[in-house]
Chains A and B, each alone.
Chain A
Amino acid sequence: MTDRSTKSAKVAASLRRRHAAERRFRLYGMGAVAFALACLGLLFFTVVSKGYTAFQQTYVKLPIYFDAGDIDPKNSGDPKVWAKANYQGMAKKSLRGLFPDVKKRRDKRALYKLASSGAAYELRAIVRENPDLVGTTTDVWVTADDDVDMFIKGYIRGDVAENERRISNKEMAWIEALVADGRLEKRFNTTFFSAGDSREPELAGVWGAAAGSFFTLLVTLALAFPIGVAAAIYLEEFAPKNKLTQVIEININNLAAVPSIVFGLLGLAVFLNFIGMPRSAPLVGGVVLALMTLPTIIIAGRAAIKSVPPSIREAALGLGASRSQVVFHHVLPLAMPGVLTGTIIGMAQALGETAPLLMIGMVAFIVDIPGGFTDPATVLPVQIYLWADSPERAFVERTSAAIMVLLGFLIMMNLTAVWLRKKFERRW
């Protein structure tokens, strides 16, 4: 009896210890999750708080006189002649008209800089779309210079010494006059979503990089998905299990861990120097990223195929299905959610990849929006890198905004993965 009571006491004592250990372990887990969430929250907070202002841009309303004598002096009606007219001059004339007191050359130059150098293109576009405006004076909203934009957004402060800020006292006075006149206001920044890169922050946009990313990922997907799935199916369903396939398996796993810049060097050596493919092209970038993504897709695909219950294979084989019929009728459809999840994770990785693309020239300053697979292009993460490297204050908020766009795409891809998994999921 004493034995029993001591035993029960021992169990009770150890129980307390076990419960305490369990509570501790749970706390660790909750702490880890909370820490991860806090880091994520901090990341989002810094990015969004720095970047949200980039979605607005300061515009200035200028009364522009579309002088028929300037635009089409010989009255030819030729659009080419119209396109060559001095629209920047019209903007300057308008600014002079708004501030007639400015007489000195130097002051005038400063005054002209209130409007962006891109104003000329905006005015040209307006004339091209509304030829009736020629000969009239119309109020037109044109993009303001990035320094004006920064001042309006409060990033350039008026309360520091004049020689320490990029806006002089005179310019401040002009800006305040324009604001008082209702001629200067922040509006939604369409340029940011429709333009390519530019040296002028107010004219720079992510669309060029987004298009580059799109073409690059299209190539990556077209190569990596079929090859990866085919390799996974072959290795899992058909290949004999011997030394050779073991070596292949180890190598695929190793390949997944190879630093991505190595793939860039491979692309440079093989695709650019040996085969002679075009530099900076989404085609080459896509091929390089496909090589990088392949191991991920193969590993995820094999895991998904392995998780299909063998009873399904036996059922189909027992009915007289051939091995490829078993794979394509049953195994692959059932493995699809896992395969797609792996593919999208691989693609998301590829979307965020910079290093291998530096090697094949996709780090260039490219203003034009790429229209195809061989046009020079850059991609979103490289664009972020380039802007983060630029000295202008206005590029800081654009960097954060571009990060938001990139994160937006990543979240969209992950949601697609979740949706696809739900859609293809079958119970058994």
Chain B
Amino acid sequence: MMTAETKTTNEAHMDEDGGLTDDTVVSMNLPHLTFRTRNVEVFYGETQALFGIDLDIFRNQVTALIGPSGCGKSTYLRCLNRMNDTIDGCCVTGIIELDGDDVYDKALDPVHLRARVGMVFQKANPFPKSIYDNTAYGPRLHGLADSKADLDDVVEGSLTKAGLWDEVKDRLDAPGTGLSGGQQQRLCIARAIAVEPDVILMDEPCSALDPIATARIEELMDELRENYTIVIVTHSMQQAARVSQRTAFFHLGNLVESGDTEQIFTKPSDQRTQDYITGRFG
């Protein structure tokens, strides 16, 4: 569903879209709005997990959600592709729009939504199948490839984009679960981008990885940003500072502040943000 208001804003953004050439000017020129969320509230049964979140997520940017444990950043992330639907007693209110479409519209099939919004989880969770089948699962599911050769291309392309192709091209039939932790996580990223989503949600993708594997994934995020919009939940402030263009700080279910990463980390406007990024709590 499109409200009159969003329509105009979107059109305004579209006009500017053509003029966008340089990522660095993105924040000044107001890039294309991907997710627009207003007054999002989430309840798990009686408990309220999120309080009136207003947050915009822009195309071809990495948006980092930071905050102490239990602050609701993962909950917010899982609203964006309706993964919260699978939790019993979870109720989401407010406006969440993806390119102007209401994500929680009854008529919108979550299957269709999740084909547009991919997700990478905290713990690498490849299927206990071959590397090829892992990557090909999404395209097969949605019927994206017309032929075997087509599918091969999609698999190769996705694994290449995820920076894994050179490491696994000789053993595509080996089980995905036999890879190292970092490779498994990149396989999960390859699996997500094989569906060619608009947005990739990442829920602490590096928390179980060593620094080298983490660096690979961070590099990868920077490359993927050219084609995808990325939202990442992270516990590591350094990571947020390194990879993101925009940062949103959550605390106790509230969005304390959001804005350009540089500004959040150098001149936060809220005392709680200041305390958190300087390590005084959290």
Q: Which A residues have a C-beta under 8 Å from some C-beta of B?
A: 240-241, 309, 311-322, 325, 329-330, 334, 426-428
Contact = CB atoms under 8 A, between A and B. Distances in A.
B195 A312 contact: no
A311 B114 contact: no
Interface stretch (B135-143, B146-154, B161-169): B135-143
B128 A241 contact: no
Given A311-B123, A315-B121, A334-B128, 16 more contacts: A309-B125, A312-B128, A314-B83, A314-B125, A315-B125, A316-B137, A317-B83, A319-B118, A319-B141, A320-B138, A320-B141, A320-B195, A322-B111, A325-B141, A427-B128, A428-B126
Contacts of B113: 320
B128 A317 contact: no
A318 B118 contact: yes
B191 interface: yes
B115 interface: yes
7 contacts: A312-B125, A312-B127, A314-B86, A319-B118, A320-B111, A320-B112, A329-B137
B88 interface: yes
Contacts of A426: 128
B244 to A, nearest CB: 21
A260 to B, nearest CB: 36
B42 interface: no
B192 A319 contact: yes
Contact of B127 (A241, A315, A317, A325): A315
B145 to A, nearest CB: 14
A330 B127 contact: yes
A318 B177 contact: no
Contact of B192 (A312, A318, A322): A318
B119 A318 contact: yes
Contact of A318 (B81, B126, B128): B81
Interface residues of B, number: 28
A318 B114 contact: yes
Interface string B59-84: 00000000000000000000001010
Given A318-B81, A318-B83, A320-B112, A311 B121 contact: yes
B114 A317 contact: yes
Interface string B78-96: 0001010010100000000
Contacts of B114: 317-320
B132 to A, nearest CB: 15
B188 interface: yes
Contacts of A319: 114-115, 118, 137-138, 141, 191-192, 195
Nearest to B86: A317
A428 B124 CA distance: 11
Interface string B166-203: 00000000010100000000001001100100000000
Contacts of B195: 319-320
A329 B86 CA distance: 18
Contacts of A313: 86
A242 to B, nearest CB: 9
Contacts of B121: 311, 314-315, 318
B128 A428 contact: yes
A317 B118 CA distance: 10
A283 to B, nearest CB: 40
Interface string B93-134: 000000000000000000111110011110101111000000
A241 B88 contact: yes
Given A319-B141, A319-B192, A240 B115 contact: no
A189 B148 CA distance: 59
A320 B144 CA distance: 13
The 3 tightest CB contacts between A and B, nearest first, are A318-B119, A311-B125, A320-B114
A313 B83 CA distance: 11
A37 B249 CA distance: 64
B124 to A, nearest CB: 9
Contacts of B127: 312, 315-316, 330
Contact of A240 (B88, B119, B125): B88
Contacts of A314: 83, 86, 119, 121, 125
A426 B137 CA distance: 18
A319 B191 CA distance: 8
Nearest to A315: B125
Nearest to B115: A320
A330 B188 CA distance: 16
B119 to A, nearest CB: 4
Nearest to B129: A426
Contacts of B111: 320-322
A317 B113 CA distance: 11
B151 to A, nearest CB: 15
A370 B175 CA distance: 48
A379 B90 CA distance: 53
Contacts of A329: 137
B177 A427 contact: yes
A354 to B, nearest CB: 42
Contacts of A241: 88
Nearest to B112: A320
Contacts of B81: 318
B127 to A, nearest CB: 6
